[in-house]
Amino acid sequence: MSTASGTNSGASKPASTRAKPANKAEAAADWVDGRLGIYSLAKANLRKIFPDHWSFMLGEICLYSFIIIILTGVYLTLFFKPSMAETVYHGSYLPLNGIRMSEAYASTVNISFEVRGGLLIRQIHHWAALVFVAAMFVHMMRVFFTGAFRKPREINWLFGFLLLCLGFFDGFFGYSLPDDLLSGTGIRFMEGAILAVPIVGTYIQMFLFGGEFPGTDIIPRFFTIHVLLIPGIMLGLLVAHLILVFYHKHTQWAGPGKTEKNVVGMPLMPVYMAKAGGFFFLVFGIIAAMSAIATINPVWAYGPYRPDQVSTDAQPDWYMGFAEGLIRFMPGWEISVWGGHTLNLGVFIPLMIFPLVLVAIAVYPFIESWVTGDKREHHILDRPRNAPVRTALGAAWISLYLVLLAGGGNDLIATHLHMSINTITYFVRVGFFVVPVITFFVTKRWCLGLQRRDKDKVLHGRESGIIKRLPHGEFVEVHTPLSQADLHTLTSHEQPEPLELPAETDENGVARKAGVVAKTRTKLSEGFYGEGNQIAKPTSEEYLEITSGHGHH
Amino acid sequence: MSHDMSENLPEAHGASHGTEVVTHDDPFADPGLPAHEPRRTDIDERAAKRAERQVSLMFVVSMLATVGFIASYASIDADKLVYIFPLGKVSALNFALGMTLGVALFCIGAGAVHWARTLMSDHELPAERHPIEASDEVRNDVIEQFKTGAAESGFGRRKMIRNTLIGSMALVPLSGVVLLRDLGPLPEDKLMHTGWAEAKPAEPIRLVNMNTDQPMKPEDIIQGSLTFAKPHGLEESDEDFQQQIAKDALMLVRIAPEDIKDAKSRDKGFEGILAYSKICTHVGCPISLYEQQTHHALCPCHQSTFDLADGARVIFGPAGHPLPQLKITTDEQGFLVATGDFDEPVGPSYWERKR
């Protein structure tokens, strides 16, 4: 730790020990440093090294779309009226002329047609929200499949997970605010789901809606949650997330000169200031162009919400599609318990699986570190193929998500592909259990195959495509040996040994039974790293034997 | 790297692997950071100048686009439509504003990234990592400090202070919880009945066609049709219309009496006219798709399918029980009326609902 002004030892004369600043800018910086201590902050960070890889910018997309959402959201609040008071529309959008609607809906239509540029900002806001959640998903996948969540980054993984969940819900609340036919249907769905909660369901429903559905409170309440409560929490988590990224320093791929003890890349100033700063404008520019080209959520076409009306193809925004799939494929089980009380399992079970699907990703780092028993820090990323079980689990999770997403869009699949909606739903019911399992095994085999290929490449070199005829007539393909840098990169990963159960008897010969937990852990560890779950990487002895022995291959 | 430039490269003549320390005992050993390969702009001043012009050009385009944005804002009418291939007819203002803003932003980004990639140094530098964990010395020192602090506070020794503090801290959030009580009323029996409950055998309530706002006679409802109805007296302008229609909405179908499989359902109807709740028993979407040949009604939200000829039995999808049916008859003038409420609550099921 260095201090800002500690470099000059003769600090007895305050404020004048520092050399005269060379120019106005330095003078200003000195002034700020005297109050905020910026020099010590900048010393560690101004030339901070970040490694370069395309996948490391996925998190930036999240950050930038979040900023775009906040900027456009603030603008929208200047015109949006979060009120369910009734009004009769007399605006410039003639098809709605004379129709009763809430102030929320009327003001949304006005933002779209009366306020110049209002439609653009609304569409940027909505597009950016979709991009935000999508980017968080992909960013999280990158972190998952490369093992970047391992120590010391587990807490940051949880922060990211919370941001994803809050992003889901804030998106849902925002989607609900315009009070159009589609968003009202979404709120109705939420009401039905709340009612399915045993014992307290009706109380939560009454307290949330301020009475019976729909009442007049829900939109103002959602508004506060959407613009203040959730974004406030998210902003806090985001700052914490970024501080930890800086503090931990970024992970990097294996390669020549890269170790667990260093980070190789380019400095924040100037390269990443320009690249990352520029990337904000790229993201913003592309989302603005998307909003110019592609209409999103044309609420004026849906009409105001009425509880007795609905349109077909009612769909939530994509990220809620898996919840929609859960609710659609579930059989309508309703049972009577405790003297005639109704337990609506058909809705309650999906409502419980929904958080479970999410929590599964949240807790994964802790499960893996428990199974491996690994307490070390990891800064070098795994290639997905070198962690076959992890990769297969992740792929299974994604396949489950996609099955549910297809289930949530079963009506669209049915109408667009001319298929029976019943067949699709039955497929989803079976697929929910079967597809992730198949995906798991296929992915694992695939990873092992790629490991074999790497091994082959290391030992025998790269296929050159050149066919050589030997003097005795044999044809061989010439293999080009890899450079030492490539050899190092392909062999630098670790291959953990599976844990072993402690001996059945201790040193005195007394029987010592392993508990269920210890046995499970050993079994899981065997499943992760045991025989057949990873391909032993080539050793330098194998390599030397092959390369020194015979000329060809 | 193009051909004509290659002889300028310092590493062009097989020297690019020069820094690799080939250790013969371990062929997989880390050879260390590879040597820096210069870019064209590093060694050719003309290429660097060209890159500089390209970056500036992008910034200039951005400026022009912002001018275009302001001009579009000022000059294009908000309701003007324009045909743009292949988008079709779109709002001219939205398109112009979005594209100019998009270009203005994108060009700043593209310029900055191009600048970083071509002109800023691309030397890869290593920085050391330090373990996140503190050294044992620091750790023990902190724990010692904490213990001193804790001992000085007397928190562990003065149990009465500790316990009363925990008690007060545990109680104080209760005020916040209590304050939430007025968020809404208690459920009581609010979900149990609908607006039709006001109908009595002596004072029946007429069914009013949702589209025409007129009461209906049995002959107005032809076989195979689907009609939506609400109770007489419920108007769109009513303050609680949304709340009422969320429970009262009816779906009327007429099925040939001999096709009605459920005798109880037939009795609740009138000459084959059956009045079902329009609100799905799954999560409350209004059901609106009716297949007149099979008498199946489908909820468009989650595809619960009900057989209206069989007491609205659930034949597919996630709904847990049939749609409630309203008993209907006609009054002296021959209009369709209800003489009471549904036998069971409408809409999604909930804990207190009796099965």
How near does any CA of chain B get to the CA of A435, in Å?
21
| Two structure tokens written together for B114 | 């191009």
The reply to whether B168 falls in a domain is no
**pLDDT at B106 exceeding the cut of 70:** yes
Of B110, B190, B282, nearest to A192 by CB-CB distance is B282
Q: Which two tokens stand for residue A154?
A: 């587990």
Q: Does the beta-carbon distance from A292 to B97 stay under 8 Å?
A: yes
**What's residue B4's pLDDT?**
43
CB-nearest to A207 from B183, B230, B353 is B183
B-interface mutation test, from A484, A495, A541, A545, most B Cβ less than 10 A away: A484
Contact A336 B79 (CB under 8 A): no
Separation of alpha carbons A517 and A519, rounded Å: 5
A407 reaches B (C-beta below 8 A): no
* Position A11 pLDDT exceeds 90: no
Beta bridge partners of B298: B289, B305
| B261 within a domain of the structure (yes/no) | yes
Residue A183 is predicted with a pLDDT of: 93
Please check the confidence at residue A15 and state whether its pLDDT lies above 80.
Answer: no
Give the pLDDT of residue B2.
Answer: 39
Q: Which residues of A33-59 are buried (b: 16+ CB within 10 A; e: fewer)?
A: beeeeebbebeeeeebbbbbeebbbbb
Range(s) of the domain holding residue B253: 195-338
pLDDT band at A19 (very low <50, low <70, confident <90, very high): confident
A201, A285, A307 member nearest B105 (Cβ): A285
User: Looking at chain A from residue 160 to 219, which residues have their Cβ under 8 Å from any Cβ of chain B?
Assistant: 185, 188-189, 191-193, 195-203, 205-215, 217
- The answer on pLDDT for B250 being more than 70 is yes
Q: Which residues pair with A265 in a beta bridge?
A: B125
- Measured CA to CA, the distance from residue A185 to residue A306 in angstroms comes to 9
Nearest CA in chain A to B298: A312
What average pLDDT does the segment B74-90 reach? 92
Helix axes A345-372, A181-195, angle to 10 degrees: 80
Mutate to test the interface with A, among B115, B230, B282, B313 (most CBs of A within 10 A): B282
- pLDDT at position A5 over 50: no
Instruction: Output the DSSP codes for B200-267.
Output: -SSS-EEEEETTT--B--GGGS-TT-EEEEEETT--TTSTTHHHHHHHH-EEEEE--GGG---HHHHH
Q: What is the CATH number of the domain that holds B218?
A: 2.102.10.10
Indicate the residue of B97, B228, B352 with minimum beta-carbon distance to A202. B352
Residue A529 has pLDDT above 70, yes or no: yes
Residues B212 and B320 in one domain: yes
* Residue B15 is assigned to a structural domain of this protein: no
Confirm if A263 and A250 have CB atoms less than 8 A apart: yes
B103–chain A Cβ distance below 8 A for any pair: yes
DSSP label of B123: -
Partner-chain contact A282 B124, CB within 8 Å? no
CA–CA dist B80, B89 (Å, integer): 10
Q: Distance, in angstroms, between A192 CA and closest chain B CA?
A: 4
Question: Which residues in A187-284 belong to E strands, given as ranges?
Answer: 262-267
- The answer to whether residue B173 sits within a structural domain is no
In a shared domain, residues B215 and B332: yes
Express each pLDDT in A143-167 by its tens digit. Answer: 999 999 999 999 999 999 999 999 9
What's the rounded mean pLDDT across residues A175-196?
95
Of the pLDDT bands very low, low, confident and very high (cuts 50, 70, 90), residue A16 is low
Query: To 10 degrees, what angle do helices A118-145 and A103-113 make?
Result: 100
Bridging pattern class, strands A475-480 and B205-209: unpaired
Task: Determine the residue of chain A that is closest to B238 in CA distance.
Answer: A86
Residue B295 CA to residue A371 CA, distance in Å, equals 56
What is the distance between the alpha carbons of residues A85 and A98, in angstroms, rounded to a whole number?
16
Q: Which of B96, B118, B140 is the last residue of a domain?
A: B118
- DSSP SS3 for B291: strand
Q: Give the residue from A179, A195, A280 with the most B CB atoms within 10 Å of its CB, the best one to mutate.
A: A195
**Parallel, antiparallel, or unpaired: how do β-strands B88-91 and B125-128 relate?**
unpaired
The model's confidence at residue B61, banded by pLDDT at 50, 70 and 90, is very high
- At B324-355, the pLDDT tens digits run 999 999 999 999 999 999 999 999 999 999 86
- Look at the block and give the residue holding tokens 């609710």: A327
Domains in chain B, number = 2
* Interchain CB contact of A65 with B (< 8 Å): no
Min Cα distance A390 → chain B (Å) is 25
Confidence category of residue A3, pLDDT binned at 50, 70, 90? very low
> Mean pLDDT lowest for which of A58-72, A119-133, A367-381, B56-70?
A367-381
Smallest CA–CA separation between A183 and chain B, in Å?
12
Decide if A288 and B22 are in contact by the 8 Å CB cutoff: no
Mean pLDDT, residues A58-85:
97
Cβ separation of A292 and B183 shorter than 8 Å? no
CA A98 to chain centroid: 44
What pTM value is reported for the model?
A: 0.92
Identify the domain boundary among B118, B133, B167: B118
The yes-or-no verdict on residue A2 having pLDDT over 50 is no
Query: B105 and B203 share a domain?
Result: no
Residues of B in contact with A99 (CB under 8 A): none
Given CB atoms, is A269 within the 8 Å cutoff of chain B? no
Q: Got the DSSP string for A128-172?
A: HHHHHHHHHHHHHHHHHHTTTTSTT-HHHHHHHHHHHHHHHHHHH
Q: Mean pLDDT for chain B? A: 91
> In chain A, positions 20-49, which contact chain B (CB-CB < 8 Å)?
48-49
Q: What is the 3-state secondary structure (H, E, C) of A82-110?
A: CCCCEEECCCCCHHHCCCEEEHHHHHHHH
CB atoms within 10 A of CB A410: 24
- Grade residue A311 by pLDDT with cuts at 50, 70 and 90: confident
- Determine contact, residues A68/A284, Cβ cutoff 8 Å: yes
Residue A392 and residue A447 in contact, taking contact as beta carbons nearer than 8 Å:
yes
Percent of chain B with pLDDT over 70: 93
* Sequence-distant (≥ 6) Cβ neighbours of residue B342 within 8 angstroms: B193, B194, B196, B277, B324, B325, B326
Between CA A128 and CA A182 the distance in angstroms is 20
Q: Do A425 and B303 touch (CB under 8 A)?
A: yes
What's the CA gap between A319 and A409, in Å, rounded? Answer: 12
Rounded to an integer, the average pLDDT of A356-383 is 93
Residues B105 and B216 in one domain: no
DSSP string, B1-26: --GGGGGG-TTTTTTTTTT----SS-
Write the pLDDT tens digit of every residue in A407-418: 999 999 999 999
- CB contact B111 to A (< 8 Å): yes
Q: Are residues B212 and B101 both part of a single domain?
A: no
Using the Cβ of B33 and the Cβ atoms of chain A, whether some distance falls under 8 Å is answered with yes
Asked if residue A480 has pLDDT above 80, the reply is yes
Element (H, E) at A300: helix A299-302
Q: Is B59 on the interface with A (CB under 8 A)?
A: no
Domains present along chain A, CATH in parentheses: 1-45 (no CATH), 57-255+262-321 (1.20.810.10), 448-494+512-549 (no CATH)
Rounded Cα distance, B285 and A192, in Å: 9
Best of A67, A105, A258, A308 to disrupt the B interface (most B CBs within 10 Å) is A308
How far is it, in rounded angstroms, from Cα B258 to Cα B323? 21
List CB contacts (< 8 A) between A191 and chain B. 283-284, 348
Q: Is the pLDDT of residue B13 over 50?
A: no
Closest chain A residue to the Cα of B121, Cα to Cα? A271
How many angstroms separate the CA of residue A421 from the nearest CA in chain B?
A: 8
Mean pLDDT value across residues A390-408: 95
Angle at A360 between CA A356 and CA A364, to 5 degrees: 160
Of B99, B118, B137, the position where a domain reaches its end is: B118
Give residue B10's pLDDT.
Answer: 40
> How near does any CA of chain B get to the CA of A414, in Å?
11
ipTM value of the model? 0.91
Residue B189 included in any domain: no
Q: Are B322 and B205 members of one domain?
A: yes
* B243 touches A: beta carbon within 8 Å: yes
Residue B314 near residue B323 (C-beta atoms within 8 A): no
**B120–A contact, CB cutoff 8 A:** yes
Tokens of A176: 């609900």
Report yes or no on B260 lying in a domain: yes
Kindly determine whether residue B104 and residue A263, on different chains, have CB atoms separated by under 8 Å.
no
Q: Is residue B177 in some structural domain?
A: no
At A13 the pLDDT is 53
Q: Whole-angstrom Cα distance, residue A263 to residue A266? A: 10
In chain A, what residues touch B96 (CB-CB under 8 Å)?
292
Instruction: Of B148, B152, B132, give the one whose Cα is nearest residue B140.
Output: B148
Mutation pick from A212, A216, A252, A351 vs chain B, by most beta carbons of B within 10 Å, is: A212
What's the token pair of residue B226? 């689907």
- CA B90 – CA B256 distance, rounded (Å): 49
Out of A202, A271, A277, the one facing B187 most closely (by C-beta) is A202
pLDDT tens digits along A345-362: 999 999 999 999 999 999
Say yes or no for a CB contact (<8 Å) between A327 and B302. Answer: yes
Nearest to A44 by CA among A241, A274, A246, A244: A246
* Contact flag B285-A49 (C-beta cutoff 8 Å): no
| pLDDT above 70: percentage of residues in chain A | 96
Say if the Cβ atoms of A328 and B318 lie within 8 Å. yes
Per-residue CA distances from A194 to A188, A198, A356, B169 (Å) = 10, 9, 17, 31
Residues with Cβ within 8 Å of B333's Cβ and at least 6 positions away in sequence, in order, are none
Reduce the DSSP state of residue B90 to 3 states and report it.
strand
Q: Give the H/E segment covering residue A50.
A: strand A49-50
Distances (CA, A) of A324 to A310, A354, A402, A412, A432: 16, 10, 12, 13, 14
Distance CA B252, CA B268 (A): 12
Can you tell me the mean pLDDT for B89-93?
94
**A5 or A450: whose pLDDT is higher?**
A450
Separation of alpha carbons B117 and B111, rounded Å: 10
* pLDDT score for A155: 97
The average pLDDT across B69-88 equals 93
Concatenate the DSSP letters of all residues of B142-180 into one string. HHHHHHHHHHHHTTTT-HHHHHHHHHHHHHTHHHHHHHG
**Greatest C-alpha distance within chain B:** 108
Determine contact, residues A397/A361, Cβ cutoff 8 Å.
yes
* Phi and psi at residue B282, to the nearest 5°: -80, -80
CA triple B56-B57-B59, angle to 5 deg: 65
Q: What is the pLDDT of residue B355?
A: 66
Scanning A411-430 for CB atoms below 8 A from B yields 411, 421-422, 425
Residue B255 in domain: yes
Query: Confidence class of residue A500 from pLDDT cuts 50, 70 and 90?
Result: confident
